[in-house]
Structure 1
Protein backbone atom coordinates (compact mmCIF):
# COMPACT_ATOMS: atom_id res chain seq x y z
CA UNK A 1 0.00 0.00 0.00
CA UNK A 2 1.30 3.45 -0.92
CA UNK A 3 1.79 6.06 1.81
CA UNK A 4 -0.89 8.71 2.22
CA UNK A 5 -0.17 11.85 0.19
CA UNK A 6 -1.21 14.84 2.32
CA UNK A 7 -0.76 17.18 -0.65
CA UNK A 8 -3.44 15.30 -2.59
CA UNK A 9 -5.93 13.71 -0.17
CA UNK A 10 -8.43 13.13 -2.97
CA UNK A 11 -6.15 10.69 -4.79
CA UNK A 12 -7.17 7.89 -2.43
CA UNK A 13 -10.85 8.62 -2.95
CA UNK A 14 -10.35 8.69 -6.72
CA UNK A 15 -8.76 5.24 -6.62
CA UNK A 16 -11.54 3.92 -4.43
CA UNK A 17 -14.36 5.27 -6.63
CA UNK A 18 -12.69 4.22 -9.87
CA UNK A 19 -12.95 0.62 -8.71
CA UNK A 20 -16.72 0.95 -8.81
CA UNK A 21 -17.48 2.17 -12.32
CA UNK A 22 -20.99 3.53 -12.49
CA UNK A 23 -22.55 4.47 -15.82
CA UNK A 24 -23.12 8.20 -16.12
CA UNK A 25 -21.10 8.95 -12.99
CA UNK A 26 -17.98 10.96 -13.74
CA UNK A 27 -15.74 10.22 -10.75
CA UNK A 28 -12.93 12.65 -11.67
CA UNK A 29 -15.42 15.50 -12.16
CA UNK A 30 -17.09 14.81 -8.81
CA UNK A 31 -13.76 14.57 -7.00
CA UNK A 32 -12.54 17.77 -8.65
CA UNK A 33 -15.69 19.55 -7.50
CA UNK A 34 -15.20 18.33 -3.92
CA UNK A 35 -11.55 19.40 -4.04
CA UNK A 36 -12.69 22.88 -5.06
CA UNK A 37 -15.18 22.87 -2.18
CA UNK A 38 -12.40 22.12 0.29
CA UNK A 39 -10.21 24.82 -1.26
CA UNK A 40 -13.06 27.33 -0.92
CA UNK A 41 -13.50 26.42 2.75
CA UNK A 42 -9.77 26.80 3.32
CA UNK A 43 -9.80 30.21 1.62
CA UNK A 44 -12.80 31.32 3.70
CA UNK A 45 -11.11 30.18 6.90
CA UNK A 46 -7.88 31.94 5.96
CA UNK A 47 -9.83 35.14 5.28
CA UNK A 48 -11.57 34.83 8.65
CA UNK A 49 -8.33 34.15 10.52
CA UNK A 50 -6.58 37.10 8.88
CA UNK A 51 -9.54 39.31 9.75
CA UNK A 52 -9.55 38.14 13.36
CA UNK A 53 -5.80 38.74 13.64
CA UNK A 54 -6.15 42.24 12.21
CA UNK A 55 -9.06 42.87 14.56
CA UNK A 56 -7.05 41.72 17.59
CA UNK A 57 -4.11 43.92 16.61
CA UNK A 58 -6.39 46.91 16.15
CA UNK A 59 -8.04 46.20 19.50
CA UNK A 60 -4.68 46.04 21.28
CA UNK A 61 -3.58 49.26 19.59
CA UNK A 62 -6.78 51.01 20.64
CA UNK A 63 -6.47 49.77 24.21
CA UNK A 64 -2.86 50.97 24.46
CA UNK A 65 -3.83 54.36 23.06
CA UNK A 66 -6.81 54.80 25.38
CA UNK A 67 -4.88 53.69 28.46
CA UNK A 68 -2.02 56.01 27.55
CA UNK A 69 -4.40 58.96 27.23
CA UNK A 70 -6.12 58.14 30.51
CA UNK A 71 -2.74 57.76 32.21
CA UNK A 72 -1.76 61.23 30.97
CA UNK A 73 -4.98 62.66 32.38
CA UNK A 74 -4.38 60.94 35.73
CA UNK A 75 -0.80 62.21 35.90
CA UNK A 76 -1.91 65.76 35.12
CA UNK A 77 -4.62 65.43 37.74
CA UNK A 78 -2.11 64.23 40.34
CA UNK A 79 0.28 67.08 39.46
CA UNK A 80 -2.41 69.70 40.03
CA UNK A 81 -3.16 68.44 43.49
CA UNK A 82 -6.02 66.07 42.68
CA UNK A 83 -8.72 68.69 42.16
CA UNK A 84 -10.66 67.85 38.97
CA UNK A 85 -10.99 70.69 36.53
CA UNK A 86 -13.32 71.29 33.61
CA UNK A 87 -10.40 70.58 31.30
CA UNK A 88 -9.87 67.17 32.94
CA UNK A 89 -13.53 66.30 32.50
CA UNK A 90 -13.32 67.36 28.86
CA UNK A 91 -10.21 65.18 28.29
CA UNK A 92 -11.92 62.15 29.85
CA UNK A 93 -15.01 62.74 27.72
CA UNK A 94 -12.90 63.04 24.54
CA UNK A 95 -11.06 59.85 25.42
CA UNK A 96 -14.31 57.99 25.93
CA UNK A 97 -15.74 59.30 22.64
CA UNK A 98 -12.58 58.16 20.89
CA UNK A 99 -12.91 54.72 22.49
CA UNK A 100 -16.52 54.47 21.25
CA UNK A 101 -15.46 55.49 17.73
CA UNK A 102 -12.73 52.84 17.86
CA UNK A 103 -15.27 50.21 18.87
CA UNK A 104 -17.39 51.18 15.88
CA UNK A 105 -14.35 50.69 13.63
CA UNK A 106 -13.82 47.24 15.15
CA UNK A 107 -17.43 46.35 14.44
CA UNK A 108 -17.06 47.46 10.82
CA UNK A 109 -13.83 45.47 10.47
CA UNK A 110 -15.55 42.35 11.85
CA UNK A 111 -18.43 42.85 9.43
CA UNK A 112 -16.03 43.16 6.48
CA UNK A 113 -14.24 39.98 7.53
CA UNK A 114 -17.50 38.07 7.73
CA UNK A 115 -18.65 39.46 4.38
CA UNK A 116 -15.36 38.47 2.73
CA UNK A 117 -15.55 34.94 4.14
CA UNK A 118 -19.17 34.62 3.04
CA UNK A 119 -18.26 35.83 -0.47
CA UNK A 120 -15.73 33.02 -0.86
CA UNK A 121 -18.31 30.40 0.12
CA UNK A 122 -21.07 31.99 -1.98
CA UNK A 123 -18.80 31.99 -5.02
CA UNK A 124 -18.08 28.27 -4.55
CA UNK A 125 -21.80 27.49 -4.15
CA UNK A 126 -22.44 29.34 -7.40
CA UNK A 127 -19.68 27.34 -9.10
CA UNK A 128 -21.23 24.12 -7.74
CA UNK A 129 -24.56 25.02 -9.30
CA UNK A 130 -22.89 25.73 -12.65
CA UNK A 131 -20.93 22.45 -12.48
CA UNK A 132 -24.11 20.55 -11.71
CA UNK A 133 -25.87 22.19 -14.66
CA UNK A 134 -22.98 21.24 -16.92
CA UNK A 135 -23.01 17.62 -15.70
CA UNK A 136 -26.75 17.36 -16.20
CA UNK A 137 -26.57 18.87 -19.70
CA UNK A 138 -23.99 16.23 -20.75
CA UNK A 139 -26.60 13.53 -20.19
Structure 2
Protein backbone atom coordinates (compact mmCIF):
# COMPACT_ATOMS: atom_id res chain seq x y z
CA UNK A 1 0.00 0.00 0.00
CA UNK A 2 1.34 3.43 -0.93
CA UNK A 3 1.71 6.10 1.68
CA UNK A 4 2.37 9.82 1.48
CA UNK A 5 5.66 11.23 2.79
CA UNK A 6 4.31 14.73 2.23
CA UNK A 7 1.93 16.34 -0.24
CA UNK A 8 4.47 16.15 -3.06
CA UNK A 9 5.94 12.64 -2.69
CA UNK A 10 4.12 9.31 -2.56
CA UNK A 11 5.95 6.05 -1.90
CA UNK A 12 4.77 3.26 -4.21
CA UNK A 13 3.95 -0.30 -3.37
CA UNK A 14 6.21 -2.93 -4.92
CA UNK A 15 3.30 -4.04 -7.12
CA UNK A 16 2.83 -0.53 -8.55
CA UNK A 17 6.59 -0.16 -9.08
CA UNK A 18 6.82 -3.43 -11.06
CA UNK A 19 3.81 -2.40 -13.14
CA UNK A 20 5.41 0.94 -14.06
CA UNK A 21 8.81 -0.65 -14.75
CA UNK A 22 7.15 -2.83 -17.35
CA UNK A 23 5.92 0.20 -19.27
CA UNK A 24 9.21 1.97 -19.97
CA UNK A 25 11.86 0.90 -22.51
CA UNK A 26 15.01 2.61 -21.15
CA UNK A 27 16.71 2.59 -17.76
CA UNK A 28 20.08 3.44 -16.26
CA UNK A 29 22.40 0.78 -14.88
CA UNK A 30 24.77 1.83 -12.07
CA UNK A 31 27.85 -0.32 -11.47
CA UNK A 32 30.83 0.07 -9.16
CA UNK A 33 34.42 -1.06 -9.08
CA UNK A 34 36.26 0.13 -5.99
CA UNK A 35 35.52 3.85 -5.66
CA UNK A 36 34.45 4.26 -9.29
CA UNK A 37 30.75 4.47 -10.13
CA UNK A 38 29.54 4.17 -13.73
CA UNK A 39 26.10 4.77 -15.28
CA UNK A 40 24.97 3.13 -18.51
CA UNK A 41 21.71 3.66 -20.38
CA UNK A 42 20.20 0.33 -21.43
CA UNK A 43 17.02 -0.83 -23.07
CA UNK A 44 15.46 -3.68 -21.14
CA UNK A 45 12.44 -5.87 -20.56
CA UNK A 46 10.99 -7.44 -17.47
CA UNK A 47 10.98 -11.21 -17.11
CA UNK A 48 8.71 -11.80 -14.16
CA UNK A 49 10.23 -9.76 -11.36
CA UNK A 50 13.67 -9.44 -12.87
CA UNK A 51 15.23 -7.03 -15.36
CA UNK A 52 16.87 -8.42 -18.52
CA UNK A 53 19.07 -6.54 -20.98
CA UNK A 54 21.58 -7.35 -23.70
CA UNK A 55 25.14 -6.12 -23.91
CA UNK A 56 28.34 -6.52 -25.87
CA UNK A 57 31.92 -6.92 -24.73
CA UNK A 58 33.14 -3.74 -23.03
CA UNK A 59 33.32 -1.85 -19.78
CA UNK A 60 29.72 -2.54 -18.73
CA UNK A 61 30.16 -6.30 -19.02
CA UNK A 62 33.60 -6.19 -17.41
CA UNK A 63 32.30 -4.21 -14.43
CA UNK A 64 29.45 -6.68 -13.91
CA UNK A 65 31.90 -9.56 -13.72
CA UNK A 66 34.05 -7.73 -11.14
CA UNK A 67 31.13 -6.61 -8.93
CA UNK A 68 27.66 -7.99 -9.55
CA UNK A 69 25.94 -5.56 -7.12
CA UNK A 70 24.04 -3.00 -9.20
CA UNK A 71 21.31 -0.40 -9.09
CA UNK A 72 18.91 0.09 -11.99
CA UNK A 73 16.81 3.25 -12.25
CA UNK A 74 13.84 4.11 -14.44
CA UNK A 75 12.04 7.47 -14.44
CA UNK A 76 9.13 9.10 -16.20
CA UNK A 77 7.56 12.53 -15.95
CA UNK A 78 4.97 14.82 -17.47
CA UNK A 79 3.55 18.27 -16.82
CA UNK A 80 1.90 17.44 -13.50
CA UNK A 81 4.31 14.96 -11.98
CA UNK A 82 6.53 11.97 -12.43
CA UNK A 83 7.96 8.91 -10.82
CA UNK A 84 11.28 7.20 -10.14
CA UNK A 85 11.97 3.54 -9.38
CA UNK A 86 15.29 2.02 -8.32
CA UNK A 87 15.95 -1.72 -8.36
CA UNK A 88 18.84 -2.82 -6.13
CA UNK A 89 20.16 -6.27 -6.85
CA UNK A 90 22.70 -8.59 -8.36
CA UNK A 91 23.42 -8.86 -12.07
CA UNK A 92 24.35 -12.17 -13.62
CA UNK A 93 25.47 -12.99 -17.12
CA UNK A 94 23.21 -15.74 -18.43
CA UNK A 95 25.09 -18.87 -19.43
CA UNK A 96 22.52 -21.67 -19.17
CA UNK A 97 21.41 -22.55 -22.75
CA UNK A 98 17.79 -23.13 -21.68
CA UNK A 99 17.61 -19.78 -19.89
CA UNK A 100 19.19 -18.00 -22.88
CA UNK A 101 16.68 -19.67 -25.22
CA UNK A 102 13.84 -18.47 -22.98
CA UNK A 103 15.01 -14.83 -22.83
CA UNK A 104 15.63 -14.80 -26.60
CA UNK A 105 11.84 -15.06 -26.91
CA UNK A 106 11.37 -11.79 -24.99
CA UNK A 107 10.79 -8.57 -27.01
CA UNK A 108 14.33 -7.33 -26.42
CA UNK A 109 16.25 -6.02 -29.42
CA UNK A 110 19.24 -3.66 -29.56
CA UNK A 111 18.28 -0.04 -30.25
CA UNK A 112 21.56 0.74 -31.96
CA UNK A 113 23.04 -1.33 -34.80
CA UNK A 114 25.51 -3.32 -32.71
CA UNK A 115 25.89 -7.00 -31.97
CA UNK A 116 24.89 -7.72 -28.38
CA UNK A 117 25.01 -11.43 -27.75
CA UNK A 118 25.29 -11.42 -23.95
CA UNK A 119 22.14 -11.45 -21.83
CA UNK A 120 22.22 -10.10 -18.28
CA UNK A 121 19.56 -10.56 -15.61
CA UNK A 122 19.23 -8.34 -12.57
CA UNK A 123 17.76 -10.29 -9.68
CA UNK A 124 16.37 -7.72 -7.27
CA UNK A 125 17.09 -7.67 -3.56
CA UNK A 126 14.64 -4.80 -3.15
CA UNK A 127 13.16 -1.90 -5.07
CA UNK A 128 11.91 1.54 -4.15
CA UNK A 129 9.50 3.72 -6.06
CA UNK A 130 8.21 7.24 -5.56
CA UNK A 131 5.68 9.42 -7.32
CA UNK A 132 6.26 13.15 -7.46
CA UNK A 133 3.50 15.74 -7.76
CA UNK A 134 4.87 18.94 -9.26
CA UNK A 135 3.88 22.39 -8.06
CA UNK A 136 5.12 25.65 -6.70
CA UNK A 137 7.76 25.67 -4.01
CA UNK A 138 6.19 26.13 -0.57
CA UNK A 139 7.15 29.03 1.62
CA UNK A 140 10.17 28.28 3.77
CA UNK A 141 9.78 27.95 7.51
CA UNK A 142 11.50 30.75 9.39
CA UNK A 143 13.05 30.17 12.78
- Which one has the bigger helix percentage? 1
Structure number with higher relative contact order (C-alpha < 8 Å, ≥ 6 residues apart): 1
Structure with greater proportional strand content: 2
Structure 1 length as normaliser, TM-score? 0.20
